[in-house]
């Protein structure tokens, strides 16, 4: 296991899907980004919190923020649920089981309430493909750490933009909870729970790019077809 200060982003993101996207946001190749990050004493997960080179947050409506938030919460809830259902969580040490199951229950509760708030505007559940990262302790943990940190960066970025103060108050409640999730995850992998003295906000567009780059959210398989004449035996 990595020591408390030498955990690199690549350690967490072994498939490097997130890394590619983060590097792109900084206008660099993956190799250049890694090199630069290494000079600074290890990329750490602070890579997620480094300010991107360009792009101010677009003006977002409260509904759009909640819709993106729901998409992201669904991603997390499905991730933890799938790992639990597949038995990956059950094979972990007791402390990690408690962590994974607590986070899974929290994320499902977040999904329920945001869906309820959005009502008809919630949209259909996306189809997720975690590319096997729910199927082993190592890849599950690495992805969970990156995902929780990303959630904190997202909520830090969007919460001040909410026009309805009561909605921003609710998102602050989610933000502090997600920050505890991130710290708990970091503690479990043996890295510093609070790596920096300040969490920089991250625009939704950046988070969207990072999530897109993981390819965790996929087009639904085409299971239904119209006007295709059946050729079953009849």
Positions touching another protein (CB under 8 A) are: 81-82, 84-86, 101-102, 104-106, 108-110, 112-114, 116-117, 127-130, 132, 135-136, 164-170, 172-174, 218, 221-234
Q: Are 36 and 70 in contact (CB under 8 A)?
A: no
CB of 87 to another protein, least distance (A): 8
CA 64 – CA 51 distance, rounded (Å)? 23
- Based on CB atoms, which residue is closest to another protein, 90 or 93? 90
Indicate the residue among 13 and 107 with the shorter CB distance to another protein. 107
Minimum CB separation from another protein for residue 185, in Å? 17
* Biggest distance spanned by C-alpha atoms of the chain: 68
CB nearer another protein, residue 35 or residue 85:
85
Token readout for 223 is 């299971």
Distance set, CA 84 to CA 53, 97, 99, 135, 178 (Å): 38, 9, 11, 9, 19
Distance of closest approach, residue 232 Cβ to another protein, in angstroms: 3
Sign of CA dihedral 17, 18, 19, 23: positive
Tokens found for residue 212: 């897109």
Which CB atom, from 55 or from 160, has the smaller least distance to another protein?
160
Tokens for 85, please give them. Answer: 């259902």
Structural tokens at position 207: 């988070």
Q: State in angstroms the smallest separation of the CB of 234 from another protein.
A: 5
CB of 91 to another protein, least distance (A): 10
136 vs 209, which CB is nearer to another protein? 136
Query: Smallest distance, Å, CB 83 to another protein?
Result: 11
Query: How far, in Å, CA of 128 to CA of 104, rounded?
Result: 16
Nearer to another protein, 31 or 223 (CB): 223
107's enclosing H/E stretch is helix 94-118
Residue 151 CB coordination number (10 Å): 26
């Amino acid at each position: 296991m990595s020591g408390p200060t030498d955990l690199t982003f690549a350690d967490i993101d072994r498939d490097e899907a997130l890394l590619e996207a983060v590097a792109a946001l900084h206008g660099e190749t993956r190799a250049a980004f890694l090199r630069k990050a290494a000079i600074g004493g290890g990329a750490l997960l602070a890579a997620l919190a480094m300010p991107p080179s360009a792009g101010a947050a677009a003006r977002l409506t409260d509904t759009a923020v909640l819709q993106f938030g729901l998409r992201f919460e669904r991603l997390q809830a499905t991730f933890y649920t799938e790992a639990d259902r597949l038995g990956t969580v059950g094979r972990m040490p007791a402390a990690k089981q408690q962590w994974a199951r607590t986070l899974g229950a929290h994320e499902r509760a977040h999904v329920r309430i945001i869906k309820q708030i959005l009502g008809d505007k919630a949209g259909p559940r996306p189809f997720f493909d975690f590319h096997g990262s729910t199927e082993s302790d190592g890849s599950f943990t690495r992805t969970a750490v990156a995902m929780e940190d990303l959630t904190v960066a997202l909520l830090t970025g969007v919460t001040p933009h909410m026009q309805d103060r009561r909605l921003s108050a609710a998102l602050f409640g989610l933000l502090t909870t997600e920050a505890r999730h991130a710290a708990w995850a970091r503690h479990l992998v043996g890295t510093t729970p609070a790596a920096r003295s300040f969490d920089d906000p991250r625009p939704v567009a950046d988070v969207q790019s990072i999530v897109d780059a993981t390819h965790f959210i996929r087009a639904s398989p085409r299971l239904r077809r119209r006007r295709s004449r059946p050729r079953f035996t009849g």
